[in-house]
């Protein structure tokens, strides 16, 4: 059983159709989904929409974010520029599962030119239904949060365990 979530979505022009298909799929599962753009298949810049969705996620307006561009890389990089967003680009079930279980990823990116919509639906189902394991992994996620808060080179220091 998947808990009902508030999900923000964004894409560039390449990911537009997959985004619409995934939105419909998630809404059929009972999730509340908000699409923040792009609003059509005309050229659109993935950094703008990735950042817009990530800002909403980081503010706490949404539980998760689903992002799509040509490869999934660019839009995930834009999302990861926001403190508190942990966006992963997934192409297979294992990474979708582990990104939630161990990394508590709160955003997922897909490449509209890389994977089929049906695969993206399957990956979403895994990702949305997997709970964060916590424990030692929570310490690592906390480290990432600290790193995001200190983006300047050399600003983050930590002891290294032998």
**pLDDT tens figures, 120-154:** 999 999 999 999 998 889 888 888 888 888 778 88
Cα–Cα distance measured from residue 117 to residue 123, given in angstroms and rounded to the nearest whole number: 10
Q: What is the pTM of this model?
A: 0.93
> What pLDDT does residue 152 have?
80
Cα–Cα distance measured from residue 84 to residue 101, given in angstroms and rounded to the nearest whole number: 17
List domains and CATH numbers for the chain: 6-149 (3.40.1400.10)
The percentage of residues in the chain with a pLDDT greater than 90, rounded to a whole number, is 81
Residue 90 designated active-site: no
Q: What is the pLDDT of residues 68-111, one digit of tens each?
A: 999 999 999 999 999 999 999 999 999 999 999 999 999 999 99
pLDDT category of residue 2 using cuts at 50, 70 and 90: low
Least confident of 5-9, 41-45, 121-125: 41-45
CA distances from 37 to 51, 103, 143, 150, 161 (A): 11, 27, 32, 30, 44
Tokens of 95: 């990474």
> What pLDDT does residue 162 have?
54
CA distances from 146 to 10, 95, 131, 140, 143 (A): 26, 23, 22, 10, 5
> What pLDDT does residue 155 have?
82
Q: Which of 68, 54, 79, 64 is nearest to 29 (CA)?
A: 64
Query: Per the residue annotation, which of 31, 69, 87, 90 is the catalytic one?
Result: 69
């Amino acid at each position: 059983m998947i808990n009902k979530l508030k999900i923000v979505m964004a894409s560039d022009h390449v990911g537009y159709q997959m985004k619409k298909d995934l939105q419909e799929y998630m809404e059929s599962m009972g999730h509340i989904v908000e699409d923040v753009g792009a609003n059509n298949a005309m050229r659109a810049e993935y950094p703008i929409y990735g950042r817009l969705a990530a800002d909403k996620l980081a503010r706490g307006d949404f539980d998760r974010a689903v992002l799509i561009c040509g490869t999934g890389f660019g839009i995930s990089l834009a999302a990861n520029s926001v403190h508190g967003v942990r966006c992963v680009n997934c192409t297979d079930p294992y990474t979708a599962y582990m990104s939630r279980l161990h990394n508590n990823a709160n955003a997922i990116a897909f490449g509209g030119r890389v994977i089929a919509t049906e695969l993206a639906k399957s990956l979403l189902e895994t990702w949305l239904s997997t709970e964060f394991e916590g424990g030692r992994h929570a310490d690592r996620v906390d480290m990432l949060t600290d790193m995001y808060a200190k983006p300047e080179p050399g600003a983050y220091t930590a002891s290294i365990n032998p």
